[in-house]
Amino acid sequence: MKILITGSSGNIGYFLAKYFIRKRIRVTGLDVVENPRLKNGKYFKFIRASVTDAPALAGIFNREKPTHVIHLAYLMKSIHDEKKEYDTDVLGSQNVISAASAAKSVKQFIEFSSTSAYGGRPDNKIWIGETQELRPGGYRYGINKKKVEEYINGFKARKSLKFVIVRMCTAIGPDEFKKNGLTELMIKSPLLAKFNGKYTDLQLLHEHDLTALIHKIVKDKNIHGTYNLAPDDYCSIRDLVPGQRFLNLPLGLVKFVTGILWTLGLSGFMPAAIDLSAYGIIADPGKLQKRYKYSFKFTTLSGFRDSVLGMKKSGVL
């Protein structure tokens, strides 16, 4: 078994690469920047490359001959260059899919989609299932995830290649290392927002449960299709940080101001991203949980607390 991880230098890529290296499973990490925490060795090899470079990808797949692909190379935060975001997220994904299909060594392709593709909406119900229509609204990251899912579902791959789409909620863990993530934001911000008098409900997936479930998928020769990847609980943002101060804000006004700042290039937050902050997206993990009879080790709350402790020990917080 040999796993190729695109976007290996990000938090999720690091969680997974570190986990499989410890399991003595060979990993090829592909990213445009190197993560100094991941050292080249017997079970890990880093290759600097962009998913937008189709010829380079073809050569990498031909040389490395991975059996599994975990695709994580996306621009998580929206940028003002919409074409660059589309080229990376959508066309880049198509390049990786084509390279994996052409490489006969690849037996499984795991596409990391996002629960944000369901959309932040006031009519969201608790426990959204995989059959729920994807309604990302104007949120570009969710739009691009939806487009990639549609591409995969319409892609004519060879019969020996199975696609697995996982719609993951926000993942956290004590090994988080990037600055300005959700955990750091909630701990360090002097003031947090609640919208229209309501505290947002959240699902947070601990890295332990993330890596354990992905390992089960990797070992599963028959799995294919779409699965939510989230814990089987949720909690209010107030429960996560009960000591923090919250400011009640009118959602419409916040979106209006955010829209102006975004248009002027003074903010990195799209107005559509505010809907995700205001309306909870609580995904039902039952389909995946039932397949593996899996019991989550961490809840949203206990996972958050473990992440905070680990990040404080490592000096990130």
Looking at residue 23, what is its pLDDT? Answer: 97
Looking at residue 118, what is its pLDDT? Answer: 97
Looking at residue 60, what is its pLDDT? Answer: 97
The answer to the question of residue 185 being in a domain is no
DSSP secondary structure string, 62-118? HHH--SEEEE-----S--S-HHHHHIIIIIHHHHHHHHHHH-TT--EEEEEEEGGGG
Q: Which residues of 83-96 are buried (b: 16+ CB within 10 A; e: fewer)?
A: eebbbbbbbbbbbb
The answer to the question of residue 144 being in a domain is yes
Quote the number of domains for the chain: 1
Looking at residue 109, what is its pLDDT? Answer: 98
The answer to the question of residue 199 being in a domain is no
CATH of the domain at 41: 3.40.50.720
Helix, strand or coil, per DSSP, at residue 244:
coil
> What is the chain's length?
317
The answer to the question of residue 241 being in a domain is no
pLDDT tens series, the chain, 317 aa = 999 999 999 999 999 999 999 999 999 999 999 999 999 999 999 999 999 999 999 999 999 999 999 999 998 777 888 899 999 999 999 999 999 999 999 999 999 999 999 999 999 999 999 999 999 999 999 999 999 999 999 999 888 999 999 999 999 999 988 777 889 889 998 899 999 999 999 999 999 999 999 999 999 999 999 999 999 999 999 999 998 999 999 999 999 999 999 888 888 888 888 998 899 899 999 999 999 999 999 999 999 999 999 999 988 88
d(CA 274, CA 259): 10
The answer to the question of residue 115 being in a domain is yes
Looking at residue 100, what is its pLDDT? Answer: 97
Q: Does the global pTM surpass 0.85?
A: yes
The answer to the question of residue 270 being in a domain is no
Looking at residue 277, what is its pLDDT? Answer: 87
Looking at residue 315, what is its pLDDT? Answer: 86
d(CA 63, CA 146): 31
- Of 16, 63, 314, nearest to 174 (Cα)? 314
The answer to the question of residue 188 being in a domain is no
The answer to the question of residue 257 being in a domain is no
Looking at residue 234, what is its pLDDT? Answer: 97
* Inter-residue contact 174 to 311 (CB < 8 Å): yes
Tell me the pairing of strands 162-168 and 170-172: unpaired
Q: Residue 197 gets which letter from DSSP?
A: T
Looking at residue 78, what is its pLDDT? Answer: 79
Q: What angle do CA 251, 206, 111 make, to 5 degrees?
A: 80
Residue numbers of the domain that contains 165: 2-180+204-231+283-314
